[in-house]
């Protein structure tokens, strides 16, 4: 089938990261540093992306500020005509570096928030002093005048801080906040028992978001990814497989979504071997779940099949062991009840330790 051009590309510049978040969605086995794409290759990929119709480039990681050539990469992306968004924890950014990025044409910054108190943020990020550094970076971002999105990743340990996170977005002058309940992909899957929100927390978060959207209409946009384990219908993951976006990993693999490497049935092309447009239109990984032909019962005859495209393929793989299955979040899935029971069991394990991204032995008690 012919796919329209993707709107956005996520460039995972590196898997290196000073933080050790237990909710990290990057793969458990990460590519080595010495296999990262170099400046020249990324610059070519940015031009190929723009030529095929991509409009927005999200520079992500790991921590993209860990790349010494970040400013050069932003310059290359702007020269290619892409709108550039830096997705960062803030750690590794100085005022001088931010000013250089501004001169290079960086359009937007998305700052992650691990918690809205220093204790919580430093505990979840596994990085002492990280919150204070982030607040300093937020001040520089405001001073330089970058449009800002705050990205709050929420789970059982920090969901009670959601109202404060929204206040912080207002105080920082952010235009948007993403309230993203943790998704269990990659490393995060190891922490389902430590991070799974309770049903009550999930419901309360939805109410808080609804009220804040009304109160802040016209001032702050709130994007919301609910705790889908407790929902009745799945999210339209990635806007539909192979419809709107693609990801390029630090070593050049082109993925339909950031967790696609968890699906063993898929093979991925590399930007070193083929043009990006060829991979997008003809790559096996993109065509496997594009459209609706791959669907099984009950999706195949469902009137929502072009609304949610059967939900998340990676979640079907992780929970059911079959990436072509209906997302078990869906009430019509034969696995829905099991999933909800599992979610209730996980969310009751209050003594579960956090398993940090880089140090399996590092554990911690919940912070207040
Ligand atoms: Fe969506 Fe499939 Fe559930 Fe229908 S059966 S609502 S298409 S996930
Ligand atoms: Fe891969 Fe949802 S994260 S399809």
**What's the average pLDDT block by block, 10 residues per block, for the chain (368 residues)?**
89 92 84 85 98 98 95 98 97 96 98 96 93 96 98 96 97 96 90 95 96 97 93 94 96 96 95 98 97 96 96 94 97 96 94 78 42
Task: Say whether pTM exceeds 0.90.
Answer: yes
Nearest-angstrom CA–CA distance, 185 and 172: 30
Q: What ligand is nearest to the CA atom of residue 239? A: 2
Nearest of 346, 351, 310 to residue 328 by alpha carbon: 310
Domain assignment present for residue 364? The answer is: no
Contact 21, 63 (CB under 8 A): no
Distance 236 CA to ligand 2 centre (A): 9
**Residue 67: inside a domain:** yes
Q: Ligand 2 centroid to 1 CA: how many Å?
A: 20
| Ligand 2 probe mutation, 262, 285, 299, 314, most atoms within 8 A of CB | 314
Distance in angstroms (rounded) separating the CA atoms of residues 314 and 100: 38
- Give the chain's domain count: 1
In a domain? residue 39 = yes
Give the Å distance between the CA of 240 and the centre of ligand 1.
Answer: 13
Whether 290 is in the pocket of ligand 2, judged by its Cβ within 6 Å, is: no
Which residue, by CA, sits nearest to atom 1 of ligand 2? 314
Q: Is residue 113 included in any domain, yes or no?
A: yes
Q: Check pocket membership of 237 for ligand 2, CB cut-off 6 A.
A: yes
CA separation (Å) from 50 to 43, 72, 193? 11, 17, 42
Check the annotation: does 330 bind a ligand: no
Give the integer Cα–Cα distance in Å for 272 and 257. Answer: 19
Is 255 inside a domain boundary?
A: no
Handedness of CA 171, 172, 175, 179 (dihedral sign): negative
Distance (Å) from CA 239 to ligand 2 centroid? 10
State which ligand 2 atom lies nearest to the alpha carbon of 257.
Answer: 1
- Ligand 1-lining residues (CB < 6 angstroms): 233-234, 298-299, 302, 304-305, 308, 310-311, 326-327, 330, 332
Strand order in the sheet with 148-154: 221-225, 176-181, 148-154, 108-113, 83-88, 56-60, 8-12, 245-248, 254-255
- C-alpha dihedral over 287, 336, 208, 143, to 10 degrees? -30
Q: Is residue 243 part of a domain?
A: no
DSSP 16-55: --S---TT--S-SS---GGGS--HHHHHHHHHHHHHHT--
- The pLDDT value recorded for residue 336 is 97
The domain in which residue 133 lies consists of: 8-230
Structure ipTM over 0.90, yes or no: yes
Q: Which atom of ligand 1 is nearest to the CA of 308?
A: 1
Q: Which ligand is nearest to the CA of 297?
A: 1
Question: Which CATH number belongs to the domain containing residue 33 in this structure?
Answer: 3.20.20.70
The rounded distance, in Å, linking the Cα atoms of 176 and 168 is: 11
Question: Is 21 part of any known ligand binding site?
Answer: yes
pLDDT at 25: 84
Q: Does 177 fall in a domain? A: yes
pLDDT value at position 2?
74
- The pLDDT score that the predictor gives to residue 185 is 86
Best residue for ligand 2 mutational test, from 312, 322, 326, 330 (most atoms within 8 Å of Cβ): 312
User: Which atom of ligand 1 is nearest to 329's Cα?
Assistant: 8
Q: Whose CA is nearest to atom 7 of ligand 1?
A: 305
Within-domain flag for 145: yes
In this predicted structure, what is the pLDDT of residue 368? Answer: 45
Ligand 2 centre distance from Cα of residue 86 (Å): 22
Closest by CA to 150, choosing from 181, 114, 122, 106, is 114
| Residue 1 confidence (pLDDT) | 55
């Amino acid at each position: 089938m012919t796919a329209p051009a993707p709107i956005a590309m996520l460039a995972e510049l590196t898997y290196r990261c000073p933080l050790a978040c237990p909710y990290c969605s990057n793969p458990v086995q990460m590519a080595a540093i010495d296999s990262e794409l170099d400046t020249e290759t990324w610059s070519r990929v940015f031009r190929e992306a723009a030529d095929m119709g991509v409009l927005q480039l999200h520079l992500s990681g790991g921590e993209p500020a860990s790349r010494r050539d970040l400013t050069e990469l932003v310059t290359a992306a702007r020269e290619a005509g892409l709108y550039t968004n830096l997705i960062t924890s803030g750690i590794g950014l100085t005022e001088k570096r931010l000013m250089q990025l501004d001169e290079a044409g960086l359009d937007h910054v998305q700052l992650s928030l691990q918690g809205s108190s220093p204790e919580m943020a430093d505990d979840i990020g596994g990085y002492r002093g990280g919150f204070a550094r982030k607040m300093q970076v937020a001040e520089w971002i405001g001073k330089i005048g970058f449009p800002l999105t705050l990205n709050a990743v929420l789970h059982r340990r920090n969901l009670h801080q959601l109202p404060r996170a929204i206040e912080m977005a207002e105080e920082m002058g952010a235009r948007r906040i993403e309230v993203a309940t943790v998704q269990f992909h990659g490393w995060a899957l190891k922490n389902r028992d430590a991070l799974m929100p309770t049903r009550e927390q999930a419901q309360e978060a939805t109410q808080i978001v609804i009220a804040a959207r009304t109160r802040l209409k016209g001032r702050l946009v709130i994007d919301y990814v609910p705790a889908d384990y407790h929902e009745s219908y799945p999210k339209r993951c990635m806007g539909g497989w192979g419809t709107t976006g693609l990801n390029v990993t630090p070593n050049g693999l082109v993925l339909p979504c950031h967790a696609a490497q968890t699906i063993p049935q898929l093979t991925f092309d590399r930007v070193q071997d083929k043009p990006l447009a060829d991979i997008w239109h003809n790559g096996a990984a993109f065509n496997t779940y594009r459209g609706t032909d791959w669907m099984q019962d009950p999706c195949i005859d469902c009137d929502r099949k072009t609304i949610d495209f059967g939900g998340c393929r990676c979640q079907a793989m992780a929970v059911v062991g079959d990436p072509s299955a209906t997302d078990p979040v869906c009430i019509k899935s034969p696995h829905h009840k099991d999933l909800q029971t599992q979610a209730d069991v996980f969310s009751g394990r209050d003594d579960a330790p956090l398993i940090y991204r880089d140090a399996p032995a590092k554990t911690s008690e919940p912070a207040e």
